[in-house]
Homo-oligomer: A and B are copies of this chain.
Amino acid sequence: MKNLLIAQSGGPTAVINASLAGVAEAACVSSRVDGIMGAFYGIQGVLNEQFVDLKKVLKSSRDSSLLCQTPASLLGSCRYPLKPWREDEEEYQKLVGIFRKHHISYFIYIGGNDSMDTVFKLSEYIKEKEIADILVAGVPKTIDNDLEGTDHCPGFGSAAKYVAATVVELERDISVYPVPGVTIVEIMGRNAGWLTASSALSRINGASGPELIYLCETAFSEERFLEDMRRVMSRKKAFLIAVSEGLKDENGFYLSEQVQTEQTDAFGHKYISGAGKILENLIRSRMDCKVRTAELSLMQRCAAHIASETDLKEAWMLGGKALQCVLDGRNGEMASIKRLSSNPYMVEFTSVYSGEAANREKKVPKEMICSNGCDVNEKMMDYLRPLIQGERSVKYENGIPAHLILGENLTGKMA
Protein backbone atom coordinates (compact mmCIF):
# COMPACT_ATOMS: atom_id res chain seq x y z
CA MET A 1 0.00 0.00 0.00
CA LYS A 2 1.41 3.36 -1.05
CA ASN A 3 -0.41 6.42 0.22
CA LEU A 4 0.14 10.02 -0.78
CA LEU A 5 0.10 12.84 1.79
CA ILE A 6 -0.34 16.46 0.74
CA ALA A 7 0.05 19.52 2.98
CA GLN A 8 0.04 23.28 2.39
CA SER A 9 1.99 25.97 4.16
CA GLY A 10 2.97 29.64 4.18
CA GLY A 11 0.82 32.68 3.46
CA PRO A 12 -2.36 32.46 1.40
CA THR A 13 -2.51 32.86 -2.37
CA ALA A 14 -5.39 32.68 -4.82
CA VAL A 15 -4.14 29.45 -6.43
CA ILE A 16 -2.51 27.33 -3.70
CA ASN A 17 -5.63 25.14 -3.81
CA ALA A 18 -5.24 24.70 -7.57
CA SER A 19 -1.89 23.04 -6.79
CA LEU A 20 -3.61 20.84 -4.23
CA ALA A 21 -6.17 19.87 -6.88
CA GLY A 22 -3.32 19.29 -9.35
CA VAL A 23 -1.54 16.84 -7.04
CA ALA A 24 -4.77 15.06 -6.05
CA GLU A 25 -6.09 14.74 -9.60
CA ALA A 26 -2.77 13.44 -10.93
CA ALA A 27 -2.79 10.90 -8.08
CA CYS A 28 -6.36 9.87 -8.92
CA VAL A 29 -5.28 8.70 -12.36
CA SER A 30 -2.12 6.96 -11.16
CA SER A 31 -2.20 3.23 -10.47
CA ARG A 32 0.78 3.65 -8.15
CA VAL A 33 -1.01 5.73 -5.53
CA ASP A 34 -3.53 4.19 -3.15
CA GLY A 35 -4.93 6.60 -0.56
CA ILE A 36 -4.78 10.39 -0.99
CA MET A 37 -4.50 12.10 2.35
CA GLY A 38 -4.31 15.71 3.36
CA ALA A 39 -2.66 17.03 6.52
CA PHE A 40 -4.07 20.07 8.27
CA TYR A 41 -1.81 22.97 9.21
CA GLY A 42 1.22 21.93 7.21
CA ILE A 43 4.07 19.95 8.71
CA GLN A 44 2.74 20.78 12.17
CA GLY A 45 -0.45 18.87 11.33
CA VAL A 46 1.62 15.96 10.01
CA LEU A 47 3.40 15.78 13.37
CA ASN A 48 -0.01 15.86 15.08
CA GLU A 49 -1.45 13.30 12.65
CA GLN A 50 -4.30 15.65 11.71
CA PHE A 51 -5.28 13.93 8.50
CA VAL A 52 -8.23 13.99 6.14
CA ASP A 53 -9.16 11.63 3.33
CA LEU A 54 -8.99 13.86 0.25
CA LYS A 55 -10.93 11.37 -1.85
CA LYS A 56 -13.88 12.08 0.43
CA VAL A 57 -13.39 15.83 0.13
CA LEU A 58 -12.98 15.88 -3.64
CA LYS A 59 -15.76 13.55 -4.67
CA SER A 60 -16.58 15.09 -8.04
CA SER A 61 -15.16 17.40 -10.65
CA ARG A 62 -17.51 20.02 -9.22
CA ASP A 63 -15.64 19.82 -5.88
CA SER A 64 -12.31 20.18 -7.66
CA SER A 65 -13.54 23.10 -9.64
CA LEU A 66 -14.84 24.83 -6.49
CA LEU A 67 -11.54 24.09 -4.77
CA CYS A 68 -9.63 25.82 -7.57
CA GLN A 69 -11.61 29.03 -7.05
CA THR A 70 -11.25 28.97 -3.26
CA PRO A 71 -8.42 31.22 -2.03
CA ALA A 72 -5.94 30.45 0.78
CA SER A 73 -5.14 26.88 1.78
CA LEU A 74 -8.03 24.46 2.15
CA LEU A 75 -5.90 22.41 4.52
CA GLY A 76 -4.69 25.33 6.59
CA SER A 77 -1.12 26.43 7.07
CA CYS A 78 1.62 26.80 9.65
CA ARG A 79 4.85 28.61 10.32
CA TYR A 80 6.87 25.74 11.66
CA PRO A 81 10.51 25.39 10.61
CA LEU A 82 12.20 22.04 11.19
CA LYS A 83 15.51 22.25 13.00
CA PRO A 84 18.53 20.81 11.17
CA TRP A 85 18.34 17.07 11.79
CA ARG A 86 21.93 16.87 13.03
CA GLU A 87 20.89 19.18 15.88
CA ASP A 88 17.58 17.54 16.67
CA GLU A 89 16.82 14.21 15.04
CA GLU A 90 13.74 13.41 17.10
CA GLU A 91 11.22 15.25 14.92
CA TYR A 92 12.58 13.58 11.80
CA GLN A 93 12.30 10.17 13.41
CA LYS A 94 8.77 11.00 14.46
CA LEU A 95 7.84 12.07 10.92
CA VAL A 96 9.25 8.89 9.40
CA GLY A 97 7.37 6.87 12.02
CA ILE A 98 4.11 8.64 11.18
CA PHE A 99 4.64 8.19 7.45
CA ARG A 100 5.24 4.46 7.91
CA LYS A 101 2.33 4.05 10.30
CA HIS A 102 -0.02 5.51 7.68
CA HIS A 103 1.69 3.80 4.73
CA ILE A 104 2.67 7.19 3.33
CA SER A 105 5.24 6.70 0.59
CA TYR A 106 4.88 10.13 -1.00
CA PHE A 107 4.74 13.50 0.71
CA ILE A 108 4.05 16.64 -1.31
CA TYR A 109 4.44 20.00 0.41
CA ILE A 110 2.94 23.07 -1.26
CA GLY A 111 4.43 26.30 0.04
CA GLY A 112 6.98 29.08 -0.12
CA ASN A 113 10.54 29.51 0.98
CA ASP A 114 10.15 27.96 4.44
CA SER A 115 8.21 25.00 3.07
CA MET A 116 10.93 24.30 0.50
CA ASP A 117 13.37 24.35 3.42
CA THR A 118 11.27 21.61 5.04
CA VAL A 119 11.27 19.57 1.81
CA PHE A 120 15.03 20.07 1.54
CA LYS A 121 15.82 19.08 5.14
CA LEU A 122 13.49 16.10 5.06
CA SER A 123 14.92 14.81 1.79
CA GLU A 124 18.51 15.26 3.05
CA TYR A 125 17.61 13.27 6.16
CA ILE A 126 16.00 10.53 4.04
CA LYS A 127 19.10 10.39 1.85
CA GLU A 128 21.51 10.30 4.79
CA LYS A 129 19.55 7.59 6.56
CA GLU A 130 19.08 5.65 3.32
CA ILE A 131 15.33 5.50 3.81
CA ALA A 132 14.01 3.89 0.64
CA ASP A 133 10.24 3.89 1.19
CA ILE A 134 9.56 7.64 1.54
CA LEU A 135 9.87 10.29 -1.13
CA VAL A 136 9.13 14.01 -0.75
CA ALA A 137 8.67 16.86 -3.20
CA GLY A 138 7.63 20.51 -3.12
CA VAL A 139 5.27 22.72 -5.10
CA PRO A 140 6.22 26.40 -4.98
CA LYS A 141 3.73 29.14 -4.10
CA THR A 142 4.07 32.75 -3.04
CA ILE A 143 2.57 36.04 -4.11
CA ASP A 144 5.98 37.63 -3.53
CA ASN A 145 7.57 35.71 -6.44
CA ASP A 146 10.79 35.59 -4.45
CA LEU A 147 11.55 31.87 -4.83
CA GLU A 148 14.72 30.85 -6.63
CA GLY A 149 14.75 27.86 -8.96
CA THR A 150 11.64 28.76 -10.93
CA ASP A 151 11.04 31.45 -13.55
CA HIS A 152 8.11 32.64 -11.48
CA CYS A 153 5.96 31.29 -8.73
CA PRO A 154 2.31 30.16 -8.68
CA GLY A 155 0.26 32.69 -6.75
CA PHE A 156 2.22 35.63 -8.07
CA GLY A 157 0.39 35.94 -11.41
CA SER A 158 -3.02 36.16 -9.74
CA ALA A 159 -1.83 38.71 -7.18
CA ALA A 160 -0.23 40.69 -10.03
CA LYS A 161 -3.49 40.58 -11.98
CA TYR A 162 -5.38 41.83 -8.93
CA VAL A 163 -2.85 44.64 -8.47
CA ALA A 164 -2.92 45.65 -12.16
CA ALA A 165 -6.74 45.55 -12.36
CA THR A 166 -7.13 47.42 -9.09
CA VAL A 167 -4.64 50.11 -10.04
CA VAL A 168 -6.41 50.70 -13.36
CA GLU A 169 -9.70 51.03 -11.46
CA LEU A 170 -8.09 53.33 -8.90
CA GLU A 171 -6.79 55.50 -11.72
CA ARG A 172 -10.38 56.02 -12.90
CA ASP A 173 -11.39 56.79 -9.32
CA ILE A 174 -8.74 59.41 -8.59
CA SER A 175 -9.11 61.13 -11.97
CA VAL A 176 -12.62 62.51 -11.48
CA TYR A 177 -11.88 65.77 -9.66
CA PRO A 178 -10.13 68.69 -11.34
CA VAL A 179 -7.92 69.24 -8.30
CA PRO A 180 -4.33 68.21 -7.51
CA GLY A 181 -3.97 65.11 -5.41
CA VAL A 182 -1.78 62.07 -5.01
CA THR A 183 -2.88 58.58 -4.03
CA ILE A 184 -0.28 56.18 -2.68
CA VAL A 185 -0.94 52.48 -3.28
CA GLU A 186 0.91 50.25 -0.84
CA ILE A 187 1.60 46.78 -2.18
CA MET A 188 2.87 43.65 -0.41
CA GLY A 189 6.52 42.66 -0.52
CA ARG A 190 8.91 42.99 2.42
CA ASN A 191 12.11 42.21 0.54
CA ALA A 192 11.13 41.68 -3.08
CA GLY A 193 9.34 44.23 -5.23
CA TRP A 194 7.89 41.96 -7.92
CA LEU A 195 4.29 42.58 -6.92
CA THR A 196 4.78 46.34 -6.69
CA ALA A 197 6.37 46.22 -10.15
CA SER A 198 3.20 44.58 -11.48
CA SER A 199 1.30 47.82 -10.83
CA ALA A 200 2.94 48.93 -14.11
CA LEU A 201 0.76 46.36 -15.91
CA SER A 202 -2.13 48.77 -15.35
CA ARG A 203 -0.70 50.69 -18.35
CA ILE A 204 -1.18 47.72 -20.64
CA ASN A 205 -4.23 49.17 -22.42
CA GLY A 206 -3.14 52.80 -22.47
CA ALA A 207 -3.89 54.05 -18.96
CA SER A 208 -1.14 56.09 -17.26
CA GLY A 209 -0.55 53.71 -14.37
CA PRO A 210 1.41 54.89 -11.34
CA GLU A 211 3.57 57.91 -12.17
CA LEU A 212 6.13 56.71 -9.65
CA ILE A 213 6.90 53.12 -8.64
CA TYR A 214 9.24 52.45 -5.73
CA LEU A 215 10.45 48.91 -5.14
CA CYS A 216 12.09 47.75 -1.94
CA GLU A 217 15.20 46.84 -3.96
CA THR A 218 16.02 50.53 -4.41
CA ALA A 219 17.10 52.48 -1.33
CA PHE A 220 14.56 55.19 -0.64
CA SER A 221 15.79 58.76 -0.43
CA GLU A 222 13.47 61.38 0.99
CA GLU A 223 14.99 64.20 -1.03
CA ARG A 224 14.96 62.27 -4.31
CA PHE A 225 11.34 61.33 -3.64
CA LEU A 226 10.33 64.96 -3.12
CA GLU A 227 12.14 65.87 -6.34
CA ASP A 228 10.30 63.08 -8.20
CA MET A 229 7.03 64.38 -6.77
CA ARG A 230 7.70 67.95 -7.87
CA ARG A 231 8.57 66.77 -11.37
CA VAL A 232 5.30 64.84 -11.73
CA MET A 233 3.18 67.56 -10.12
CA SER A 234 4.45 70.09 -12.63
CA ARG A 235 2.71 68.20 -15.43
CA LYS A 236 -0.09 66.23 -13.79
CA LYS A 237 -2.89 67.03 -11.34
CA ALA A 238 -4.06 63.72 -9.91
CA PHE A 239 -1.83 60.69 -9.96
CA LEU A 240 -0.90 57.40 -8.34
CA ILE A 241 2.29 56.25 -6.65
CA ALA A 242 2.97 52.55 -6.07
CA VAL A 243 5.23 51.54 -3.18
CA SER A 244 6.43 48.26 -1.70
CA GLU A 245 5.50 47.79 1.93
CA GLY A 246 9.15 46.87 2.49
CA LEU A 247 10.63 50.19 1.36
CA LYS A 248 13.99 50.76 3.07
CA ASP A 249 16.07 53.87 3.57
CA GLU A 250 19.68 54.29 2.50
CA ASN A 251 20.88 52.61 5.69
CA GLY A 252 18.78 49.53 5.00
CA PHE A 253 16.14 50.21 7.67
CA TYR A 254 12.49 49.65 6.82
CA LEU A 255 10.66 53.00 6.60
CA SER A 256 7.83 51.41 8.57
CA GLU A 257 10.13 50.50 11.46
CA GLN A 258 11.16 54.09 12.02
CA VAL A 259 7.73 55.36 12.89
CA GLN A 260 7.02 52.25 14.88
CA THR A 261 9.76 53.06 17.29
CA GLU A 262 8.99 56.75 17.72
CA GLN A 263 5.23 56.86 18.01
CA THR A 264 2.62 55.70 20.44
CA ASP A 265 -1.10 56.10 20.02
CA ALA A 266 -3.84 57.22 22.40
CA PHE A 267 -3.66 53.88 24.20
CA GLY A 268 0.10 54.18 24.67
CA HIS A 269 0.79 51.53 22.10
CA LYS A 270 3.48 51.75 19.46
CA TYR A 271 2.16 52.82 16.11
CA ILE A 272 2.67 50.34 13.33
CA SER A 273 2.51 52.33 10.17
CA GLY A 274 3.08 51.10 6.65
CA ALA A 275 5.48 52.60 4.12
CA GLY A 276 2.49 54.19 2.34
CA LYS A 277 1.39 56.11 5.42
CA ILE A 278 4.97 57.26 6.02
CA LEU A 279 5.14 58.75 2.53
CA GLU A 280 1.65 60.19 2.98
CA ASN A 281 2.78 62.05 6.06
CA LEU A 282 5.99 63.15 4.38
CA ILE A 283 4.05 64.63 1.47
CA ARG A 284 1.57 66.28 3.83
CA SER A 285 4.31 67.96 5.81
CA ARG A 286 6.51 68.99 2.91
CA MET A 287 4.24 69.68 -0.05
CA ASP A 288 1.03 71.52 -0.79
CA CYS A 289 -0.93 68.59 -2.09
CA LYS A 290 -3.92 66.44 -1.15
CA VAL A 291 -2.70 62.95 -0.30
CA ARG A 292 -4.13 59.61 0.80
CA THR A 293 -3.07 55.97 0.93
CA ALA A 294 -4.79 52.81 -0.25
CA GLU A 295 -3.23 49.64 1.14
CA LEU A 296 -4.04 46.59 -0.97
CA SER A 297 -3.60 44.64 2.26
CA LEU A 298 -4.78 41.02 2.50
CA MET A 299 -7.06 41.45 -0.51
CA GLN A 300 -4.17 41.20 -2.97
CA ARG A 301 -3.34 37.67 -1.92
CA CYS A 302 -6.83 36.18 -1.62
CA ALA A 303 -8.77 37.77 -4.51
CA ALA A 304 -9.48 34.44 -6.18
CA HIS A 305 -12.45 35.94 -8.01
CA ILE A 306 -9.98 37.69 -10.34
CA ALA A 307 -7.30 34.97 -10.49
CA SER A 308 -5.12 34.68 -13.59
CA GLU A 309 -6.07 31.71 -15.77
CA THR A 310 -2.38 31.29 -16.65
CA ASP A 311 -1.47 31.22 -12.97
CA LEU A 312 -4.27 28.79 -12.08
CA LYS A 313 -3.26 26.41 -14.83
CA GLU A 314 0.44 26.55 -13.91
CA ALA A 315 -0.33 26.03 -10.22
CA TRP A 316 -2.35 22.93 -11.18
CA MET A 317 0.34 21.62 -13.55
CA LEU A 318 3.11 22.01 -10.97
CA GLY A 319 1.04 19.92 -8.56
CA GLY A 320 1.04 17.10 -11.10
CA LYS A 321 4.73 17.64 -11.82
CA ALA A 322 5.68 17.28 -8.15
CA LEU A 323 3.77 14.03 -7.94
CA GLN A 324 5.55 12.82 -11.07
CA CYS A 325 8.91 13.51 -9.40
CA VAL A 326 8.19 11.21 -6.46
CA LEU A 327 6.58 8.56 -8.67
CA ASP A 328 9.79 8.64 -10.72
CA GLY A 329 11.72 7.98 -7.52
CA ARG A 330 13.31 11.39 -7.29
CA ASN A 331 13.61 12.75 -3.79
CA GLY A 332 13.60 16.40 -2.63
CA GLU A 333 12.65 18.00 -5.93
CA MET A 334 10.69 21.23 -6.25
CA ALA A 335 8.45 21.45 -9.31
CA SER A 336 9.36 24.53 -11.29
CA ILE A 337 8.63 26.58 -14.37
CA LYS A 338 11.22 27.21 -17.05
CA ARG A 339 10.30 29.99 -19.45
CA LEU A 340 11.15 29.24 -23.06
CA SER A 341 9.88 32.50 -24.47
CA SER A 342 7.80 35.51 -23.46
CA ASN A 343 6.23 36.30 -26.78
CA PRO A 344 4.68 33.90 -27.58
CA TYR A 345 4.60 32.76 -23.99
CA MET A 346 5.95 29.22 -23.71
CA VAL A 347 7.03 27.34 -20.61
CA GLU A 348 8.30 23.93 -19.65
CA PHE A 349 7.30 22.24 -16.41
CA THR A 350 10.43 20.87 -14.83
CA SER A 351 11.95 20.49 -11.38
CA VAL A 352 15.01 21.58 -9.42
CA TYR A 353 16.48 20.27 -6.20
CA SER A 354 14.72 21.96 -3.28
CA GLY A 355 18.11 22.97 -1.90
CA GLU A 356 18.41 25.40 -4.81
CA ALA A 357 15.29 27.27 -3.72
CA ALA A 358 15.30 26.97 0.06
CA ASN A 359 16.54 29.86 2.17
CA ARG A 360 17.24 32.14 -0.74
CA GLU A 361 15.32 35.18 -1.91
CA LYS A 362 14.96 36.17 -5.54
CA LYS A 363 14.90 39.94 -5.69
CA VAL A 364 14.11 42.16 -8.64
CA PRO A 365 17.36 42.53 -10.61
CA LYS A 366 18.69 46.03 -11.33
CA GLU A 367 18.27 45.55 -15.08
CA MET A 368 14.47 45.50 -14.71
CA ILE A 369 14.35 48.80 -12.80
CA CYS A 370 14.68 52.19 -14.51
CA SER A 371 17.92 53.94 -13.72
CA ASN A 372 16.06 56.81 -12.01
CA GLY A 373 14.82 54.27 -9.47
CA CYS A 374 11.15 55.22 -9.72
CA ASP A 375 9.79 52.92 -12.40
CA VAL A 376 10.28 49.55 -14.09
CA ASN A 377 11.32 49.05 -17.70
CA GLU A 378 10.22 47.06 -20.77
CA LYS A 379 12.24 44.06 -19.67
CA MET A 380 10.10 43.84 -16.56
CA MET A 381 6.91 44.33 -18.61
CA ASP A 382 7.91 41.48 -20.94
CA TYR A 383 8.48 39.29 -17.92
CA LEU A 384 5.21 40.19 -16.19
CA ARG A 385 2.76 40.47 -19.08
CA PRO A 386 2.12 36.75 -19.76
CA LEU A 387 1.55 35.93 -16.10
CA ILE A 388 -1.75 37.80 -15.72
CA GLN A 389 -3.36 36.59 -18.95
CA GLY A 390 -6.71 34.87 -19.02
CA GLU A 391 -9.77 34.76 -16.80
CA ARG A 392 -11.48 31.66 -15.57
CA SER A 393 -15.23 31.86 -15.31
CA VAL A 394 -15.91 31.97 -11.56
CA LYS A 395 -18.98 30.25 -10.16
CA TYR A 396 -21.06 32.62 -8.03
CA GLU A 397 -23.78 31.47 -5.64
CA ASN A 398 -26.29 34.04 -4.39
CA GLY A 399 -24.15 36.89 -5.64
CA ILE A 400 -20.77 35.96 -4.16
CA PRO A 401 -18.05 33.54 -5.30
CA ALA A 402 -18.69 29.97 -4.15
CA HIS A 403 -15.92 28.37 -2.08
CA LEU A 404 -15.13 24.86 -0.96
CA ILE A 405 -14.52 24.78 2.77
CA LEU A 406 -14.03 21.98 5.22
CA GLY A 407 -16.65 21.81 7.92
CA GLU A 408 -15.93 20.70 11.44
CA ASN A 409 -16.66 17.10 10.51
CA LEU A 410 -13.81 17.38 7.99
CA THR A 411 -15.94 16.60 4.99
CA GLY A 412 -16.19 19.00 2.10
CA LYS A 413 -19.09 21.40 2.22
CA MET A 414 -19.78 24.46 0.22
CA ALA A 415 -19.73 28.00 1.53
Contact = CB atoms under 8 A, between A and B. Distances in A.
Interface of A: 12, 40-41, 44, 70-73, 76-79, 161, 164-166, 168-170, 172-178, 183, 201-202, 204-207, 258-259, 262-263, 265-269, 271, 273, 278, 281-282, 284-286, 292-299, 301-306, 308, 385, 388-391, 396-403, 405, 413-415
A215 to B, nearest CB: 20
Contacts of A169: 71, 299, 302-305, 401
Contacts of A266: 258-259, 262-263, 278, 281
A117 B388 CA distance: 44
B269 A265 contact: no
Nearest to A203: B415
Contact of A286 (B170, B205, B267): B267
Contact of A269 (B204, B285, B391): B285
B161 A71 contact: no
Contacts of A40: 178
A51 to B, nearest CB: 15
Contact of A263 (B70, B265, B302): B265
Most chain B CB within a 10 A radius of its CB, from A76, A285, A292, A299: A299
Nearest to A265: B281
B414 A165 contact: no
Given A178-B41, A266-B281, A271-B271, A172 B399 contact: no
Please tell me how many copies of the chain the complex holds. Answer: 2
Most chain B CB within a 10 A radius of its CB, from A70, A413, A415: A415
A198 to B, nearest CB: 10
A400 B205 contact: yes
Most chain B CB within a 10 A radius of its CB, from A72, A295, A297: A297
20 contacts: A12-B172, A76-B177, A161-B400, A165-B400, A166-B299, A172-B405, A173-B298, A173-B301, A205-B397, A206-B413, A207-B403, A207-B415, A262-B266, A266-B281, A267-B281, A267-B284, A267-B285, A268-B285, A292-B298, A389-B398
B399 A308 contact: yes
Contacts of A206: 405, 413-415
Contacts of A308: 399
